[in-house]
């Protein structure tokens, strides 16, 4: 587009105002954790929904709600207190390549995390670095597979240290950490600064970022995440991922 950085910032600020509002919720997977009030229910429902967030958005939202229904709409209680026979009810679940085998391991791994590591927040808080949460995502990946796991499930948790953009987990972390005045993101994890968040890079946000000159690399991988991080921090060092709303909205809704 030939815009300078100041013009890009002004343009994206307009789009943040357009998309970062409660009207965004119903047509986004974040609508699933917005069903809940308990902190742990929000975390678990958000993590599970983010984990299936690829493909058709209506299908993601529908299947996210179905996951909660299969857990009796009390995800934290189900994670902590389930017995083996309770897992039979989730045997019908499938979302694209994520099936009941994967779902059952996620349930068991989350139980392990909440009983051993003070939950998802405890892991990310402990392993955050001064400027990034990507090393913490790497440790989450390793902890997720500390217990016996089916090989097929390994691909469903990203590892940035192996080059992944980790789009789904970065999106989940945006939900949990970012605080805004619009009531979209939850801002539950107060011990982690939003300045450390990385943009959930996917085909839509990547295409828009390249068109605006915020991203030069062609692959949507960890190197691209770092480049986009660097440029978004020039626009807002304290809350760089607020521009995710603009990049995603421009890509999905406006076909920019």
Q: What three-state secondary structure class fits 157?
A: coil
67/186 Cα distance (integer angstroms): 20
Residue 246 resides in a domain: no
Question: What pTM, to 2 d.p., does this model score?
Answer: 0.96
The mean pLDDT value for 166-174 works out to 98
Asked if residue 110 belongs to a domain, the reply is: yes
Q: Exposed (0-12), middle (13-18) or buried (19+): which is 194, by Cβ within 10 Å?
A: buried
pLDDT tens for each residue of 59-82: 999 999 999 999 999 999 999 999
Q: Is residue 7 part of a domain?
A: no
Is 12 part of any domain? Answer: no
> Per residue in 85-130, pLDDT tens?
999 999 999 999 999 999 999 999 999 999 999 999 999 999 999 9
Looking at residue 255, its pLDDT comes to: 86
Confidence of residue 221 (pLDDT cuts 50, 70, 90): very high
- The kind and range of the H/E element at 176 are helix 167-177
What's the token pair of residue 209?
């970022």
Flag whether 252 is in a domain: no
| Domain count for the chain | 1
Residue 157 forms part of a structural domain: yes
Say what the alpha-carbon torsion angle 217, 192, 135, 116 is, to the nearest 10 degrees.
-140
Domain that residue 69 falls in: 24-197
Is-contact 124 172, C-beta < 8 A? Answer: no
Helix 222-235 and helix 5-19, axial crossing angle in degrees, nearest 10: 90
pLDDT in tens, 10-30: 999 999 999 999 999 999 999
- Residue 247 resides in a domain: no
pLDDT at 2: 56
DSSP string of 93-115, one letter each residue:
-EETTEEHHHHHHHHHHHHHHHH
Summarised one tens digit per residue, pLDDT across range 227-256 is 999 999 999 999 999 999 999 999 999 988
Task: Please give the pLDDT value at position 180.
Answer: 87
For the purposes of burial, counting CB atoms within 10 Å of the CB of 226, is it exposed (0-12), middle (13-18) or buried (19 or more)? Answer: middle
Q: How does DSSP classify residue 94? A: E
- Do the domain assignments include residue 166? yes
Phi, psi values for residue 148, rounded to 5°: -55, 140
Tokens 């405890």, located at residue: 122
Amino acid 121: pLDDT: 98
């Amino acid at each position: 587009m030939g815009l300078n950085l100041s013009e890009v910032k002004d343009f994206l600020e307009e789009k943040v105002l357009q998309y970062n509002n409660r009207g965004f919720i119903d047509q986004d997977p974040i609508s699933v954790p917005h069903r809940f009030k308990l902190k742990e229910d929000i975390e678990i429902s958000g993590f599970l929904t983010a984990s299936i967030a690829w493909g058709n958005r209506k299908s993601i939202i529908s299947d996210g709600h179905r996951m909660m229904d299969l857990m009796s709409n009390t995800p934290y209680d189900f994670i902590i207190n389930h017995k083996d026979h309770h897992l039979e009810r989730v045997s019908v679940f499938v979302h694209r390549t994520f099936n009941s085998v994967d779902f059952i391991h996620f349930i068991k791994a989350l139980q392990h995390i909440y009983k051993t590591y003070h939950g998802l927040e405890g892991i990310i808080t402990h392993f955050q670095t001064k400027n990034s949460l990507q090393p913490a995502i790497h440790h989450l990946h390793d902890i997720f597979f500390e217990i016996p796991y089916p090989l097929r499930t390994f691909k469903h948790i990203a590892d940035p240290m192996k080059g992944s953009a980790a789009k789904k987990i970065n999106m989940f972390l945006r939900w949990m950490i970012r605080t805004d005045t619009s009531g979209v993101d939850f801002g539950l994890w107060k011990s982690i600064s939003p300045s450390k968040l990385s943009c959930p890079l996917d085909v839509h946000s990547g295409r828009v970022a390249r068109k605006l000159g915020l991203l030069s690399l062609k692959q949507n991988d960890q190197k691209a995440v770092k480049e986009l991080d660097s440029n978004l921090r020039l626009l807002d060092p304290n809350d760089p991922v607020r521009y995710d709303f603009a990049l995603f909205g421009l890509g999905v809704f406006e076909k920019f």
